Amino acid sequence: MSTVARTEAETIASPRSAVKIGHETHKLEKRLCREAGRAITTFRMIEEGDKVMVCMSGGKDSYTLLDVLLRLQARAPIRFELVAVNLDQKQPGFPAHVLPEYLARTGVRFHIENEDTYGIVKRLIPEGKTTCSLCSRLRRGILYRVAGELGCSKIALGHHRDDILQTLLLNMFFGGKLKSMPPKLVSDDGRHVVIRPLAYVAEKDIARWATHRAFPIIPCNLCGSQENLQRKQVGDLLRDWEARFPGRVPNMFNALQNVVASHLLDGRLYDFENAQATGVASADGDRAFDPDTFPAPAPALPGMQVVQRP
């Protein structure tokens, strides 16, 4: 277990280790707030007077999202409101008291919406078929409606950097598209702006923060559906790469912010058809035939065996 990944109660060790843990925790908190603040500023996610609906599922990501937004709200130079919203989908065994109790303790304004989407999905989808697509469609529609009823101008979701990379790979592997999850988009009904303030935050930082803060996590498998096995596999792939080749995952994420349309093959993004010799030398020099150069593969970390895969 890392030094940060302990609950506050567990820090009653030696004074020196307590100081070290406190220091690590402080650094983690600063990093979470800095990265969320950077995403909010870069993509102009939250503006003066916004009322932000924070979607709470009871998972570590949504708890961290709310926690970070509350911290940023307290120190931001602009005024904005937060309303935490949970949709109780009536899944069997859903501990309906957990989120209201937690949210009441934080003092944030909150709303619990009760809708039996579980029953609808069970009725409409034959046994053994995937239920996630209908379930998410129903959930999305309800959350948009609730945002309208509460007068919220923004809807904040807890997706993070690793969700964005997983979506990129899933779209490439199964959808034939170079496409990921946007940090900010207009909702399907055209009436709201959906934001992802944790877009720059690494999942492992969220997991460490959730452990440190001892959030009352609600299990995400209550519906009995095998949620997105492909996503789990792609998540494992990214974690495996990052363990064996540190820096690869952040580099992939940087690539999403550094797109060179002229070096892809989509004629809608770059006008290849009308590309003509200009007679003017490129400022970068003549590099048309140069192969890209990449650093030599990093040596495997001690105790790790590099497995060559096709």
The answer to whether 220 is annotated as binding is: no
- Return d(Cα 207, Cα 201) in angstroms, integer: 11
Question: Least distance in Å: CB of 191 to ligand SF4?
Answer: 23
Nearer to ligand SF4, 27 or 129 (CB): 129
Q: Which of 132, 150, 172, 207 binds ligand SF4 (CB under 6 A)?
A: 132
Q: Is 167 in the site for ligand SF4 (CB under 6 A)?
A: no
188-227 positions binding ligand SF4, by CB under 6 A = 223, 225, 227
Nearer to ligand SF4, 33 or 222 (CB): 222
- Count of residues touching ligand SF4 (by CB under 6 A): 7
The answer to whether 55 is annotated as binding is: no
- Return d(Cα 199, Cα 189) in angstroms, integer: 23
Question: Least distance in Å: CB of 213 to ligand SF4?
Answer: 24
Give residue 128's region: left, alpha or beta (phi > 0; psi -120 to 50): left
Nearer to ligand SF4, 124 or 304 (CB): 124
Non-local CB neighbours of 124 within 8 Å, separated by 6+ positions: 134
Q: Tokens 């550094």 label which residue?
A: 258
Question: Least distance in Å: CB of 58 to ligand SF4?
Answer: 11
Q: Tokens 């469609």 label which residue?
A: 137
Q: Closest Cα to residue 164, out of 198, 135, 206, 137?
A: 198
Q: Closest Cα to residue 117, out of 164, 177, 57, 206?
A: 57
**Interface region with ligand SF4, contact rule CB under 6 A, candidates 21-29, 129-137, 192-200, 288-296:** 129-137
221-260 positions binding ligand SF4, by CB under 6 A = 223, 225, 227
Nearer to ligand SF4, 224 or 247 (CB): 224
Q: Closest Cα to residue 207, out of 169, 243, 162, 156?
A: 162
136-155 positions binding ligand SF4, by CB under 6 A = 136
User: Two tokens at 227?
Assistant: 């949620």
User: Two tokens at 259?
Assistant: 């797109």
Question: Least distance in Å: CB of 136 to ligand SF4?
Answer: 5
Nearer to ligand SF4, 25 or 89 (CB): 89
Angle between helices 229-244 and 248-255 (to 10 degrees): 120
- Return d(Cα 291, Cα 197) in angstroms, integer: 37
Nearer to ligand SF4, 121 or 201 (CB): 121
- Return d(Cα 125, Cα 120) in angstroms, integer: 8
The answer to whether 132 is annotated as binding is: yes
- Binding positions are 132, 135, 223
Q: Which residues are near ligand SF4 by CB under 6 A? A: 131-132, 135-136, 223, 225, 227
